[in-house]
């Protein structure tokens, strides 16, 4: 009998060696070209913004010199449209000779000399999404070795122009091929995004054995509606997604668009807060040469980054959806701490949301609160009511630590508040 495409996917998965590269034990951070610069290859008329070695050198310089690297933003990731339309005489991928005249290894060395890392893009179909040479099944071994020879540090492996059977074989084979090179290369898989992101079409237990991170959902666009759509999908499906995430295996809701054209400052803080409460990879896609001071301050917020990088790696949950369109999210952190996000889906005016830590299932005690974006601090008793003013399409994020140790009640107190103790 023959296996269905879906059965074949997980059968092949089961016989593949687990990914054991020791990488990305906290969510990876850096800069990625795609959302902001797409497939702009017109270097004659748009030399500052086209996909070329100059663009990636510029962004590397900004990461190294403007305080990003020290905060953890170390990956500089090339996306689609970097390669020549033809492989070389030995069958290897090669960079476009006009836009990358010194080749990819030069860029890797440039990054490494500055304490940064280089990521690159491939696709397991006949062509990439942008129409450049893909890495189909018969090219996996040679391309994995080529990336290692170029001293690349991360591969994003897309799935355009491939089918379920090819993906079933190709994604695990690329994982094995990367490991076999002997070079540590972080592996980002787009596989789940091509199958709806959810079981039974996606088995996250098995996926976590071959990939360091994976795209579950569609590409982000430079719009607030795109941010909301993506975050809504992740938290709607949190019961499936939370158990699948942990150190070295991350859900990737796609890039941070803070500093681009569409988001207000409130919306920018909201995206940062939601991505950090998820424990998502933080890959900016913006122009670091011209980014505003307001956007920079959000992206460089040390406490938000610390919450994102918490070593437990637990994905946060939405614990309340109020009729007044305020939502509350909670993420357990190391040292019995936690993070809270109060998020407004309102479109009218700032809303004064009243609650207490006790209503959010915190046990009896006094808790130290730090507002992540204002840095205001206070002590709160669990039973004391407090009011949080949340702007339309905005978020307030708190770091919560308990001087006497933090614990949670067993069971939700009301509404659809989740059992927070189940996180630990």
Residues annotated as catalytic (active site), given as ranges:
158, 219
Return d(Cα 60, Cα 56) in angstroms, integer.
Answer: 6
Return d(Cα 335, Cα 315) in angstroms, integer.
Answer: 16
- Please choose, from the candidates 319, 391, 323, the residue with its C-alpha nearest in 3D space to the C-alpha of residue 359: 319
Return d(Cα 34, Cα 220) in angstroms, integer.
Answer: 10
Q: Do the Cβ atoms of 269 and 224 come closer than 8 Å?
A: no
Pairing relation of β-strands 117-123 and 154-158?
parallel
Q: Do the Cβ atoms of 367 and 337 come closer than 8 Å?
A: no
- Asked if omega into 163 is within 30° of 0 (cis), the reply is no
Return d(Cα 27, Cα 31) in angstroms, integer.
Answer: 13
3-state secondary structure of 256: strand
Return d(Cα 248, Cα 20) in angstroms, integer.
Answer: 9
313: alpha, beta or left, given left = phi > 0 and alpha = psi -120 to 50? left
User: What is the H or E stretch that residue 13 is in?
Assistant: helix 5-14
Q: Do the Cβ atoms of 203 and 10 come closer than 8 Å?
A: yes
Query: Tokens 């915190």, residue?
Result: 362
- CA torsion sign, 278 to 282 to 285 to 287? positive
Return d(Cα 243, Cα 221) in angstroms, integer.
Answer: 27
State the greatest distance between any 2 C-alpha atoms of the chain, in Å, as a whole number: 72
Question: 139, exposed or middle or buried, with CB in 10 Å at 0-12, 13-18, 19+?
Answer: buried
Return d(Cα 424, Cα 422) in angstroms, integer.
Answer: 6
Q: Do the Cβ atoms of 74 and 30 come closer than 8 Å?
A: yes
Quickly list DSSP for 352-386: EEEEETGGGTBPSSEEEEEETTT--EEEEETT-EE
């Amino acid at each position: 009998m023959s296996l269905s495409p879906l059965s074949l996917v997980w059968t092949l998965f089961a016989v593949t060696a687990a990914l054991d590269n020791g990488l990305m034990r906290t969510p990876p951070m850096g800069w990625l070209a795609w959302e902001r610069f797409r497939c702009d290859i017109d270097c004659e008329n748009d030399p500052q913004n086209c996909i070329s070695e100059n663009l990636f050198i510029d962004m590397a310089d900004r990461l190294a010199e403007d305080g990003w690297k020290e905060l953890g933003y170390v990956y500089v990731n090339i996306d689609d449209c970097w390669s020549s339309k033809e492989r070389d005489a030995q069958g290897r991928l090669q960079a476009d000779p006009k836009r990358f005249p010194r080749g990819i290894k030069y860029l890797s060395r440039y990054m490494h000399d500055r304490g940064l890392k280089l990521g690159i893009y491939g696709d397991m179909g006949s062509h990439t999404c942008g129409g450049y040479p893909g890495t189909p099944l018969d090219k996996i071994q040679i391309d994995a070795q080529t990336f290692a020879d170029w001293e690349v540090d991360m591969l994003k492996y897309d799935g355009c122009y491939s089918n379920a059977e090819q993906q079933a074989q190709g994604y695990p084979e690329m994982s094995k091929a990367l490991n076999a090179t002997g070079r540590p290369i972080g592996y980002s898989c787009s596989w789940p995004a091509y199958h709806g992101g959810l079981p039974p079409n996606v088995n996250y237990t098995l996926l976590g054995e071959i990939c360091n991170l994976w795209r579950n959902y569609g590409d982000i666009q430079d719009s607030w509606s795109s941010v909301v759509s993506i975050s809504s999908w992740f938290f709607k499906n949190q019961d499936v997604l939370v158990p699948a995430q942990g150190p070295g295996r991350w859900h990737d809701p796609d890039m941070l668009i803070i500093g681009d054209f569409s988001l207000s400052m409130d919306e920018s803080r909201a995206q940062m807060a939601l991505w950090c409460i998820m424990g998502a990879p933080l890959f900016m896609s913006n122009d670091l040469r011209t980014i505003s001071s307001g956007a920079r301050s959000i992206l460089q917020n040390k406490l938000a980054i610390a919450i994102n990088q918490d070593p437990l790696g637990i994905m946060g949950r939405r614990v309340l959806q109020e009729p007044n369109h305020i939502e509350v999210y909670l993420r357990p952190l190391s040292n019995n701490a936690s993070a809270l996000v109060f998020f407004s889906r309102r479109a009218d005016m700032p809303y004064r949301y009243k609650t207490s830590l006790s209503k959010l299932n915190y046990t009896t005690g006094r808790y130290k609160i730090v507002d992540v974006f204002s840095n205001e601090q206070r002590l709160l008793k669990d039973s004391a009511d407090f009011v949080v003013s949340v702007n339309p399409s905005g978020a307030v994020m708190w770091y919560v630590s308990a001087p006497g140790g933090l614990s949670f009640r067993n069971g939700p107190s009301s509404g659809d508040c989740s059992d927070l103790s189940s996180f630990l």
